[in-house]
Amino acid sequence: MTPPTPLLGARTLDRETARSLPPGSRLPTFVQTVMFARHRKTFFPRLRARYGDVFTIRLVPSSRVVVVLSRPEHIREVFGTPPSIAHAGEGNTALAPIMGQHSLLLVDDEDHVRMRRQLMPAFNGHALRGYAEMIARLARDEVGKWPVGTPFRLHDRMRDLTLEVILQVVFGVTDSDRLDRLRPLVEKIVSVGPVIMLGGFYPVLLELPPWRTFLRAQRQVDEILYDEIARRRTDPKLAERNDVLSKLLAAGTWSDVELRDQLVTLLLAGHETTATSLAWAFHELARRPDQLRAGQQAADAGDDAYLDAMGKEALRLHPVVYQVGRRLTATAEIAGYRLPRGTTLMAAIGLVHSDEQNFSDARIFRPDRFLGDTPPAPGTWIPFGGGTRRCIGAGFSLLESTEILRAALTQYDVQAPDPTPEPAKPRNVTLVPANGCTITATKRT
């Protein structure tokens, strides 16, 4: 493992360097941390309006220096910086107690290159086409159970569905007894909150409740995963299986611990995010009859390009993850500033997506902006990050969205009981509809 780079923070920041940093808030670190954790969708635009496209905030632990960037050209500089200098894994250290030290999100340099290479065969185009029918079947089963004529929280339903996709398509678990045991345990893992994530910065907390309760559930999930890995290693029909775990075993050389960490990463990174992007898509369709009709026509006609565009536009208008981070391992020139080793760089996805310079009518849900001969300019649509650290599961997520939209739109009309848009609220590292995307579904005539 690569030795961690010390954070640039209150204890390591000298006065001369402090004067050369981009301008930023003078609020106490704890206040800035709370504002970032709970109100980043309004906090960041206010800071940009006051301090410009590049600004500095300070967050726990150790009053660390975070430089936030909101212009595509500056973010391209970050994504284009050699990964040996801009470490993404070190920007995710709070996830270590949850995902594991070998998670693709937490490793850097040679470890990241090796693991990403071994993961790629399970997420290339050929593999994705093989998952489509399994996802479509699970989607049809779930949407067929939607209540008709009664308002319900669609986000909860989407979370149940994307969890089932992870368990069956990614983990390859199809035994009903094992699924019944896994579902409630995994739900505890994926519902991890910011308080639990503090254990990544303050390991002493892991010995106390509620961290101890979380770790107990995690150990129970691990027991099942390790048993599943052991069974799969000895399965004579491994090459015939079409789940992600089997493809990983067939394509790479993994230790059990490394495999476990990748599976938990795929669970946490691919469950809540896809469920939330779908909830936002239906949130818009329930309030825009013209877009609903267009989506239904695409679903009926098998127009995957339009369904894909709907998923992309939901991710643009309502970025599930508002920002991604890197930590500098050496001094680097970024956005016109000479930033020292240990600085955390934060690419503000939400600010880029909402900028009228990047997207005309940026507040309007308009999937056709992703179709035709003039797609969004490079670097302006970045819900999956960018560079060598772009989310490896991006294609899987968009495929899942397309199949679920198809399953629902071929069966239902959807309306919003309250036409007022639901605001976004933070849920862990994501931004979700405040009322769970409450909709009413009726059978199409």
Q: Identify whether the C-beta of residue 3 lies closer than 8 Å to the C-beta of residue 89.
A: no
Distances (CA, A) of 102 to 33, 46, 106, 205: 27, 37, 7, 21
The confidence score (pLDDT) of residue 252 equals 81
| Neighbour order of strands in the sheet with 323-328 | 54-59, 64-69, 344-348, 323-328, 86-87
The confidence score (pLDDT) of residue 200 equals 62
Domains of the chain: 15-443 (1.10.630.10)
CA separation for the pair 93, 216 (Å, rounded): 21
CA separation for the pair 405, 310 (Å, rounded): 9
Question: Who contacts 387 (Cβ-Cβ below 8 Å, separation ≥6)?
Answer: 78, 79, 80, 83
Q: Which amino acid is at 374?
A: T
CA separation for the pair 105, 96 (Å, rounded): 9
CA separation for the pair 171, 122 (Å, rounded): 12
What 8-state DSSP symbol labels residue 352? H
Q: Identify whether the C-beta of residue 277 lies closer than 8 Å to the C-beta of residue 244.
A: no
Distances (CA, A) of 140 to 175, 346, 414: 20, 39, 16
Q: Which amino acid is at 197?
A: M
The confidence score (pLDDT) of residue 191 equals 77
Question: pTM of the prediction?
Answer: 0.94
The confidence score (pLDDT) of residue 111 equals 93
What 8-state DSSP symbol labels residue 414? E
3-class SS shares of the chain: helix, strand, coil, % to 5: 55, 10, 35
Q: What is the pLDDT of residues 346-363, one digit of tens each?
A: 999 999 999 999 999 999
Helix axes 244-251, 256-285, angle to 10 degrees: 140
CA separation for the pair 95, 97 (Å, rounded): 6
Q: Are strands 152-153 and 323-328 parallel, antiparallel or unpaired?
A: unpaired
The confidence score (pLDDT) of residue 194 equals 67
Residue with tokens 């080793």: 341
Q: What is the pLDDT of residues 380-393, one digit of tens each?
A: 999 999 999 999 99
Residue with tokens 């639901």: 422
CA separation for the pair 287, 120 (Å, rounded): 38
CA angle 285/288/292 to nearest 5° reads 50
The closest of 225, 250, 230, 125 to 166, measured between CA atoms, is: 225
Q: Identify whether the C-beta of residue 254 lies closer than 8 Å to the C-beta of residue 94.
A: no
Q: Are strands 323-328 and 344-348 parallel, antiparallel or unpaired?
A: antiparallel
DSSP string, 416-438: -SS-SPPPEEEETTEEEETT--E
What 8-state DSSP symbol labels residue 7? P
CA separation for the pair 32, 63 (Å, rounded): 10
Dihedrals phi, psi of 67, to nearest 5 degrees: -100, 120
The confidence score (pLDDT) of residue 224 equals 93
Distances (CA, A) of 130 to 134, 305, 306: 8, 18, 21
pLDDT under 70: residue ranges of the chain: 1-2, 194, 198, 200-201
Reduced to 3 states (helix: H, G, I; strand: E, B; else coil), residue 98 is helix
Reduced to 3 states (helix: H, G, I; strand: E, B; else coil), residue 411 is coil
Distances (CA, A) of 104 to 96, 266, 269, 272, 419: 11, 9, 11, 18, 41
